[in-house]
Amino acid sequence: MTTKTKSDLLLTGVGGQGNILASDIIGEVALTAGYDVKKTDTLGMAQRGGSVVSHVRIAEKVYSPLIQEGGVDILLAFEKLEGIRWANYLRPGGIAIINNHALPPLSVNLGAEKYPSDIEIMQILQQRTGKIYLVPGTLKANELGNTRTLNIFMLGCLSVFLPFTVPDWQAAIQKHLPEKLWKLNMAAFAAGRKEVENVHV
Partner 1 sequence: MFRVSILGFRIYFQSQFLSKDYRPYVIMILMKKLLSGNEALALGAYHAGVAFASAYPGTPSTEIMEAVAVHKDIYAEWSTNEKVAAEVAMGACYAGARVMVSMKQVGLNVAADPFLAVSTTGVNGGFVLIEADDPGIHSSQGEQDNRHFAELAKVPILEPVDSQSAYDLMACAFEISEQFDTPVMLRSTTRISHSKSIVAVKDSRTVSTRKIGFSLNMQRWVMLPVNARLRHVAMEDRMQKLAVYAETFPYNQIEPGDRSLGIIATGISYQYAREVFPQASFLKLGMTYPLPEKLIREFAARVDRLLVVEELDPFLEDHIKAMGIKCEGKQFIPRCGELNTDILEAAGRKMGIIKTPAPEKLTLPTELAKRPPLLCPGCPHTGFFYVLAGIGQRLKLPGAKEKTPGAPNLVVAGDIGCYTLGAYPPLNAMDTNGCMGSSIGTAIGMEKVGLPAKIVAVIGDSTFLHSGITPLVDAVYNQSKITVIITDNSTTAMTGHQEHPGTGISVQGQAGGKVVLEEVVKGVGVKNLAVVDSFNIKEIRTAVKSALDSNELSVVIVRGACVVHVPKHGETQIIDTQKCNQCGICLLVGCPAIQTDDRQPVIDATMCTGCTVCAQVCPKQAIGPVSRLKAEVIN
Catalog residues that contact partner 1 under the rule CB under 8 A.
14-15, 24, 27-28, 31, 36-51, 62-66, 68-70, 81-82, 84-85, 87-88, 104-116, 120, 123-124, 127-128, 147
d(CA 198, CA 194): 6
Cβ-based nearer residue to partner 1, 39 or 140: 39
d(CA 38, CA 62): 7
Compute the least distance from the CB of residue 170 to partner 1, in Å: 17
Compute the least distance from the CB of residue 118 to partner 1, in Å: 13
Cβ-based nearer residue to partner 1, 124 or 160: 124
d(CA 17, CA 137): 11
Contact 120, 156 (CB under 8 A): no
Compute the least distance from the CB of residue 11 to partner 1, in Å: 13
Cβ-based nearer residue to partner 1, 5 or 88: 88
Closest CA to 108 of 130, 126, 81: 81
* Dihedrals phi, psi of 99, to nearest 5 degrees: -70, 125
Cβ-based nearer residue to partner 1, 5 or 127: 127
Compute the least distance from the CB of residue 194 to partner 1, in Å: 25
Go through the chain and tell me how many residues it has. 201
Compute the least distance from the CB of residue 29 to partner 1, in Å: 10
Closest CA to 10 of 136, 186, 128: 128
Cβ-based nearer residue to partner 1, 128 or 140: 128
d(CA 97, CA 6): 18
